[in-house]
Amino acid sequence: MSNINRYQIKNIVIINAVVILCLIAARSTYAAETNYNTRLDLTYKTIENLELKIDICLPKNNSNMQRPTIAFFHGGGLRAGSRKDGFPSLCELVTPHGYNVASADYRLAPDHKYPDLLDDAQYVIRWLKQHAETYRIDPNRIIVAGVSAGASLASVVGTRNDTRNPAYGLPSYSSKPQGTIVVSGAYDFTDPNLLGSFNPTSYSLGGNQNYVNEFSAVTHISSDDGPFLLVHGDADITALPVQSEWMYEMLQEVNIPARLIMLPGRDHFGIYQVLLEPTVQTAIMAYLNQYFTVGSPTTTPIPTSSPAGNIADLTDEGDTPDNQVNEFDYNVLVGDFGKTGSPGWIKADIIKNGKVDEFDYNALVGNFGV
Q: Among 291, 313, 348, where does a domain finish? A: 291
| Judgement on whether residues 109 and 154 belong to the same structural domain of the protein | yes
| Judgement on whether residues 93 and 57 belong to the same structural domain of the protein | yes
| Judgement on whether residues 254 and 183 belong to the same structural domain of the protein | yes
| Judgement on whether residues 346 and 203 belong to the same structural domain of the protein | no
pLDDT at 28: 44
Q: Among 291, 323, 351, where does a domain finish? A: 291
pLDDT at 367: 67
The residue type found at 362 is N
Q: Among 234, 265, 291, where does a domain finish? A: 291
Q: How many domains does the chain have?
A: 2
Nearest to 101 by CA among 22, 37, 160: 37
- Residue 302 is assigned to a structural domain of this protein: yes
- Residue 8 is assigned to a structural domain of this protein: no
pLDDT in tens, the chain (370 residues): 444 444 444 443 344 444 444 444 445 444 456 789 999 999 999 999 999 999 999 998 767 889 999 999 999 999 999 999 999 999 999 999 999 999 999 999 999 999 999 999 999 999 999 999 999 999 999 999 999 999 999 999 999 999 999 999 999 999 999 999 999 999 999 999 999 999 999 999 999 999 999 999 999 999 999 999 999 999 999 999 999 999 999 999 999 999 999 999 999 998 999 999 999 999 999 999 999 988 633 222 333 333 334 666 777 544 455 667 777 777 787 777 777 765 566 777 776 667 777 667 767 766 666 5
- Beta strands of 79-223 (E only): which ranges? 100-104, 137-147, 179-183
Structural domain including 358 reads 298-370
pLDDT at 304: 35
pLDDT at 30: 47
Inter-residue contact 212 to 201 (CB < 8 Å):
yes
Question: Is the omega angle on the peptide bond into residue 227 within 30 degrees of 0, that is, cis?
Answer: no
How far, in Å, CA of 298 to CA of 295, rounded? 9
Inter-residue contact 89 to 276 (CB < 8 Å):
yes
pLDDT at 31: 44
| Judgement on whether residues 237 and 266 belong to the same structural domain of the protein | yes
The residue type found at 189 is F
| Judgement on whether residues 41 and 149 belong to the same structural domain of the protein | yes
| Judgement on whether residues 51 and 98 belong to the same structural domain of the protein | yes
Nearest to 281 by CA among 159, 180, 181: 181
pLDDT at 366: 63
Region of 309 (left: φ > 0; alpha: ψ -120 to 50; beta: rest) is: left
Question: CA distances (Å), 309 to each of 132, 291, 314, in order?
Answer: 43, 27, 10
**Gyration radius of the chain's alpha carbons:** 21
| Judgement on whether residues 189 and 322 belong to the same structural domain of the protein | no
Tell me, what CATH number does 40's domain have?
A: 3.40.50.1820
Tell me, what CATH number does 357's domain have?
A: 1.10.1330.10
pLDDT at 343: 58
- Residue 186 is assigned to a structural domain of this protein: yes
pLDDT at 33: 65
Inter-residue contact 241 to 264 (CB < 8 Å):
no
| Judgement on whether residues 324 and 268 belong to the same structural domain of the protein | no
| Judgement on whether residues 246 and 287 belong to the same structural domain of the protein | yes
Q: What is the model's pTM?
A: 0.74
